Amino acid sequence: MASNMEVLVFFLLTLLILFLNSSTSYAQDPNFLYQVCSKSSFTLNSTYQTNLKTLLSSLSSTATNQNTLFFNNTIAGKNNSETVYGLFMCRGDIPSNLCASCVGNATQRLSTNKECSVSVTAVMWYDECMVRYSNNSFFSTVAEGPGYVLASPTNMTNQESFNRLLYDTLNKTADEAAANSLKKFATKEGKISIFQNLYCLAQCTPDIDERECRSCLYSLINSDLPRCCAGTQGGRVLYPNCVIRFEIYPFYRSLTAPTPAPAGVVPSPNSAGSKNGRSRTAIVVVISTVVSIIVFAICFHYMRRKARKSNSNILLQENFGREITTLEGLQFDLATIATATNNFSPENKIGKGGFGEVYKGTLGDGRDIAVKRLSTSSTQGSIEFKNEILLIAKLQHRNLVALIGFCLEEQEKILIYEYVPNGSLDYFLFGGQQQKLSWSERYKIIEGTAFRSSIFT
């Protein structure tokens, strides 16, 4: 009788532990975020190309080495103008196999994707790692840019108190990361309410010192973050030497060992002498404890799932339906666009890019517009299209061409921008006036926002 009870208790505890463990699961595939690749390119079959190939494969194989941990910088080629400098860094909490697959994926992508494959310099961010290379020696120096920000489209309701908690927690996370001499990495949690936590992460490349790391992180927290992500449910700022991220769901692995299972609750079963009376009360206590723990865990799990469901939409994919209201004012019908562009007449065509053609037009109210008509063969799906609109609509940037609206009708995917006679930001960045902007000016532009919106790509 008693031993049956013990079996039952053991079974319930096992169930409870399994249940708690399964409530946090992490994706295993590396998740690409963003890349910035220079327009300046090396010549094919040059020494630089050979060196770069050597460098990328060396980074990739170093990452698979169990002894490497999470960071490596290396140089390929003789010390001359063809030298390539490169590094990778993995997020401080991820296991080495995921680090290796992330770096492997990134180096592959750097050498194969159209935008980067002949670039002299590049930096690529994933959720799990960063890979960067350049013809300039950049080790142990803090780069001013390029930067990239990513914000959740959903605002917190209690913004004021949330922001106070956010900046306070991020500051502490930054201090701790800077002081961490091995990894320059830290995570911290804050309490929003009984059921909701704030999760923060900060990391620097370990080739810079404590002071540089702290000031790099502080500038993201106090200057970039308020512009992109204050009051939103999640956000990230990524720079070549330091990154921060916050969410209201756990997105990193806990670095401390999980607290042991509540084994102390189970009384030692070999209290041989005492018969029925005492052991029966013990069993009753154990059962009711276990049952209440399970009930609590189910409630907690449910609340957390609910919280996470509504908040894990940083990439906007699943939750688009919920956001549609914010897009309503932006939707145009096809007839309006056709009228504005003279039925997409060839005279109105002002450009052509990888995704389709661009027309100049005039709206009924006299506003001049540039209409980007995505080709129907475009690989961009409806969801990506809506994501782009949401992202552009959300971001305000003085150098960005303003998005006026969009049209999604009869296979047509159309973006409508304000018409700027001088051309878009991208024209300045990558077009014919390239020589007028120095790299540092470009970095400043990119720093402002990395959600470049181009009407010609």
Ligand X SMILES: *[C@@H]1O[C@H](CO)[C@@H](O)[C@H](O)[C@H]1NC(C)=O
Contacting positions for ligand X (CB under 6 A): 29-30, 40, 44-45, 62, 72-74, 79, 81, 104-105, 108, 120, 135-136, 155, 159, 167-168, 171, 218, 222, 231, 326
Which tokens go with 201?
């992460």
Q: Looking at beta carbons only, is 245 or 360 nearer to ligand X?
A: 245
- Burial 114-153, CB ≥16 within 10 A → b, else e: eebebbbbbbbbbbbbbbbbbbeebeeebbbbbbbbbbbb
Q: Cβ distance 305 to 24 under 8 Å? A: no
Least gap, CB of 74 to ligand X (angstroms): 5
Nearer to ligand X, 166 or 425 (CB): 166
Please state the closest distance from residue 84 (CB atom) to ligand X, in A.
10
In a 13 Å sphere around the CA of 344, the CA atoms on its Cβ side amount to 16
**48 or 406: CB nearest ligand X:** 48
Determine the Cα–Cα distance for residues 361 and 103; give it in Å rounded to an integer: 45
* Of 106 and 243, CB closest to ligand X: 106
Nearer to ligand X, 60 or 424 (CB): 60
Q: What is the DSSP string of 261-292?
A: PSGGGSPPS---S--HHHHHHHHHHHHHHHHH
Which one, 29 or 368, has the nearer CB to ligand X? 29
- Paired residues of 247 in beta bridges: 199
CB of 331 to ligand X, least distance (A): 17
User: Cβ of residue 107: shortest distance to ligand X, in angstroms?
Assistant: 9
Q: Do the beta carbons of residue 33 and residue 126 sit within 8 Å? A: yes
Minimum Å gap between C-beta 260 and ligand X is 35
Q: Which tokens sit at 10?
A: 């053991």
Which token pair is 22? 């399964």
Nearest by Cα to 410 from 325, 335, 307: 335
- Minimal distance in Å, beta carbon 317 to ligand X? 14
- Strand-pairing partners, residue 2, are none
> What's the N-to-C CA distance of the chain in angstroms?
74
Buried b (16+ CB within 10 A) or exposed e, 83-98: bbbbbbbbbbbbebeb
Instruction: Please give the residue whose beta carbon sits closest to ligand X in the complex.
Output: 29
Distances (CA, A) of 380 to 71, 305, 336: 34, 31, 23
Q: Name which of 103 and 374 has its Cβ closer to ligand X.
A: 103
Q: How far is the CB of 430 from ligand X (least distance, A)?
A: 14
Find the shortest distance in angstroms from Cβ 157 to ligand X: 10
Distance, in Å, from the CA atom of 278 to the CA atom of 2, rounded to the nearest integer, reads 12
- Cα pseudo-dihedral 431, 434, 440, 442, rounded to 10: -10
Give the span between the Cα atoms of 404 and 356, in whole angstroms. Answer: 18
Judged by beta carbon, residue 154 or residue 424, the one nearer ligand X is 154
> Residue 193 Cβ, how far from ligand X at the closest point, in Å?
19
- Output 171 or 313, the one with its CB closest to ligand X: 171
- Please list the helix, strand and coil fractions of the chain in percent, rounded to the nearest 5, in that order: 40, 20, 35
Q: Which residue has the tokens 């509504």?
A: 310
Residue with Cβ nearer ligand X (51 or 171): 171
Q: How far is the CB of 225 from ligand X (least distance, A)?
A: 11
Nearer Cβ to ligand X (101/424): 101
Torsion of CA 219, 223, 229, 233, to 10 degrees: 50
Task: Please report how close the Cβ of residue 395 comes to ligand X at its closest, in angstroms.
Answer: 11
